[in-house]
């Protein structure tokens, strides 16, 4: 019996953890940049006020951080389902999301998830009652 699903699950979780760490670093970068931009520097370009620059950087970094956090959550979820050998499609989606986070690890996770398709139990995602 092969363990391709377990390897794929671990790789997905590693990619998701790397993305979560990256999202935390982005939050730290936002705080650091806002602190630096709110200082009064005599050599600062006056075409854009420090408050406006801090707001612009905050909006851009927040959008990137939220996107990275969502991809990380999908990668971790896919990894958990790959370890449980359930819902192959969700495990594959997690591996694809992991590719956007950490490319080398994500590509290997896609390969192992594709190879592990016969190991997954045939099942559909649970539907919610209307």
For residues 1-5, average pLDDT:
83
120 or 121, which is more confident?
120
How confident is the model at residue 82, as a pLDDT?
95
d(CA 21, CA 2): 31
How confident is the model at residue 46, as a pLDDT?
62
C-alpha angle 47-48-52 in degrees, rounded to nearest 5:
165
For residues 27-56, average pLDDT:
77
Q: Is the pLDDT of residue 36 over 90?
A: no
**pTM for the structure as a whole:** 0.83
What's the token pair of residue 82? 């790959």
Alpha-carbon torsion, ordered 17, 19, 25, 30, to 10 deg:
-140
- In the chain, the percentage of residues whose pLDDT exceeds 90 is 68
Domain parsing of the chain, residue ranges: 4-38+49-119
How confident is the model at residue 37, as a pLDDT?
74
């Amino acid at each position: 019996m092969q363990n391709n699903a377990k390897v794929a699950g671990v790789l997905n979780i590693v990619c998701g953890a790397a993305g979560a760490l990256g999202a935390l670093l982005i939050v730290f970068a936002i705080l650091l940049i806002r602190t630096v931009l709110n200082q009064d520097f005599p050599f600062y370009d006056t075409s854009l006020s420090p408050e406006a620059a801090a707001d612009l950087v905050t909006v851009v970094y927040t959008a990137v951080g939220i996107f990275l956090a969502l991809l990380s959550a999908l990668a971790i979820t896919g990894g958990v389902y790959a370890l449980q050998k359930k819902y192959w499609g969700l495990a594959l989606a997690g591996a694809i999301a992991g590719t956007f986070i950490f490319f080398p690890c994500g590509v290997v996770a896609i390969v192992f998830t594709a190879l592990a398709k016969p190991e997954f139990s045939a099942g559909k995602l649970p539907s919610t009652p209307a």
